[in-house]
Amino acid sequence: MEVCEMQNAETILSILGKQATNDNHEFRRLYRLLFNPDLYLLAYQKLSAKPGNMTRGVDNKTIDGFKKEWIHTTIELLREEKYYPKPVRRVYIPKKNGKRRPLGIPTFIDKLVQEVIRLILEAIYEPSFSENSHGFRPKRSCHTALYQIKKTGKGTNWVIEGDITGCFDNINHARLLQLLNIKIKDGRFIELIRRFLKAGYFEFNIKKNSYSGTPQGGIISPILANIYLHEFDTFMGKVCAKYSKGIGKRTNPEYHRLVCNRYYYLKTGRKHEAIELRKQILKTPSKDEMDPNFLRVKYVRYADDFLILIIGSKQLANTIKSKVALFLKNELQLELNQEKTLITHLATKRVAFLGYEITKTQENSLRKKNSLGHSKRAFNGTIQLLVPTQVITEQLKQFRGNNKAISHTSRIWMPVEEIVQRYTAEIRGLYQYYCLATNVSTQLSRFQYYHYYSMAKTIARKEKSSVKKVHAKYGIPVDRKDRPGTRNLIGFKYRNSKGEICSFTYYNGGLKWKETPSSQVMEALPVNSLGGQLIQRLNKSHCELCGNKEENLEVHHVRKLKDIKKKYAKRGAVAPKWVLQMSWINRKTLVVCHSCHINIHNGTL
């Protein structure tokens, strides 16, 4: 099956994906795929909705004004092998601990080319990536990594919490290109990736070179890091296979003795003694926890964070940790942080991973009934995912004071509708991330109480009123999600696009624990489902403002449509035609001719 240069983007990526299922397949002549405009249109539609594209790179340009001519110019430079990525603009953003984190901002054209490269690399490498890798991959997320730990980690007693020192900043360029060369036999394609790696960055108006690491802020950085760390995934697969042995743990002699005695008591009619023995049996492990003939090693990675789950001795954990450090140093030129890479006994201490706490149940008497109605111990040794108490405590700082809900001073200036939306988005986001935690309902119910009344007090302070009056004015009856009946929640009514009256209230979605990740994470999205309408609008070749037919149309972008609407609402001015048109189609893009685009920016439309 041959990939043709002029096939549409979906067909090209599909063919590459099918070829990638053959581990021995070598990919040649990939560079010529970069001459296909359809791949750039697909890349553009994937990038178009991201607000970060309105941030200027070193060329002082953004995504605003995009036109097909940009694609043709870029393709010509690539044909002549004259395309060189520009250095990224480095800025610093504050972190929660008061420090600052460097952030690289590439030019939009570089982002566009990187997205095309990413699409090609993902099609080639995704089929061969490990099932234990979850970061920056389609149909995978933090939740799938956590679910794998919960599903496969039962009985774990030792956990290695992996920490690689500056992983993404220390990826060796020569080694990365060497790994790419195993599958990709195209010098021009590899050279283009090398140019992105070596593009450097501007800091305080001084250009600095890049000697290691993936491109800062680069779209191809996550896929390149996964390709690099796939070697580590493969190594860990061999480690897991080597040190795992045995079908099941042998029976605990003490448990066997108690069961035999209970059977004897029942047989001889000594029911009281049998009942007492039953209590002891439920508190005694049925299997020998120290069985040397049963070992298990499991491994899960998300980006540069990984856990190694071990059923075995601490000595085995130390051995594996040493082998991991040696492999990373010798094969990938990365350093395992010995101080931060901890070996934790899961029975006595919790492990932090991806914002959750991981522990295992220890209570032998916890039981549940099977399909036949028989009671059995099914919880002992199972992995539990928990919301860390300190996360809720930290989140509550801005909503609680002296153990009472307080108003949020910085939100008083917002319209009531926006206050309700902001608070709702916060608790919904918190719940959606921690819904896999066993204690999510307990922890978030505490948070929700203070959070809701903080919102009520913020609105009351804004309107110089009381919480009771706010409820009387904005309260809307809604069905309870946690139990039958209704309750009043603060919200507002509005008309939808069909003219129907709808209501929006503070979050009422419930806080139930979810055993498995959301189906939306597990299902694949069609490759052409994101932003397809924008490309269709661009291909119609008529200006959405003046209606003139024109081939060289431009796309006017705004960061957020609601900010533009709010700008004119605050002034009490009539919004210009282009804002009304954007509002009517409910898009933050507008396909216009060059003349209309100039008039938009000049404010003369």
User: How far is the C-alpha of 34 from the C-alpha of 113, rounded, in Å?
Assistant: 8
- pLDDT surpasses 60 at 529: no
Looking at residues 209-217, what average pLDDT do you find? 85
CA count, 13 A, side-chain hemisphere, 455: 27
Lowest mean pLDDT among 169-183, 254-268, 323-337, 394-408: 254-268
For residues 243 and 292, the answer to whether their CB atoms sit within 8 Å is no
Give residue-wise pLDDT tens across range 221-244: 999 999 999 999 999 999 999 999
Phi, psi of 26 (to 5 degrees): -105, 130
- pLDDT surpasses 60 at 365: no
More confident of the two residues 81 and 479:
81
User: How far is the C-alpha of 391 from the C-alpha of 398, rounded, in Å?
Assistant: 13
Number of C-beta neighbours around residue 430 at 10 A: 22
Give residue-wise pLDDT tens across range 395-436: 999 999 999 999 999 999 999 999 999 999 999 999 999 999
More confident of the two residues 152 and 370:
152
Q: Where are the domains of the chain?
A: 9-128+173-211, 389-521, 533-602
Give residue-wise pLDDT tens across range 491-504: 999 887 777 888 99
Phi, psi of 222 (to 5 degrees): -60, -45
- pLDDT surpasses 50 at 521: no
User: How far is the C-alpha of 166 from the C-alpha of 508, rounded, in Å?
Assistant: 41
Cβ neighbourhood burial of 197 (10 Å; 0-12, 13-18, 19+): buried
Measured CA to CA in angstroms, residue 460 lies from 119, 387, 450, 464, 503 at distances of: 50, 31, 15, 6, 20
User: How far is the C-alpha of 374 from the C-alpha of 420, rounded, in Å?
Assistant: 49
For residues 64 and 557, the answer to whether their CB atoms sit within 8 Å is yes
Question: Which has the closest alpha carbon to 298: 309, 288, 284?
Answer: 309
Cβ neighbourhood burial of 127 (10 Å; 0-12, 13-18, 19+): middle
- pTM equals 0.89
Number of C-beta neighbours around residue 153 at 10 A: 22
Q: Write down the pLDDT at residue 531.
A: 47
More confident of the two residues 574 and 601:
601
Give residue-wise pLDDT tens across range 133-156: 999 999 999 999 999 999 999 889
User: How far is the C-alpha of 591 from the C-alpha of 538, rounded, in Å?
Assistant: 6
Q: Quickly state the pLDDT bin for 276 (edges 50, 70, 90).
A: confident
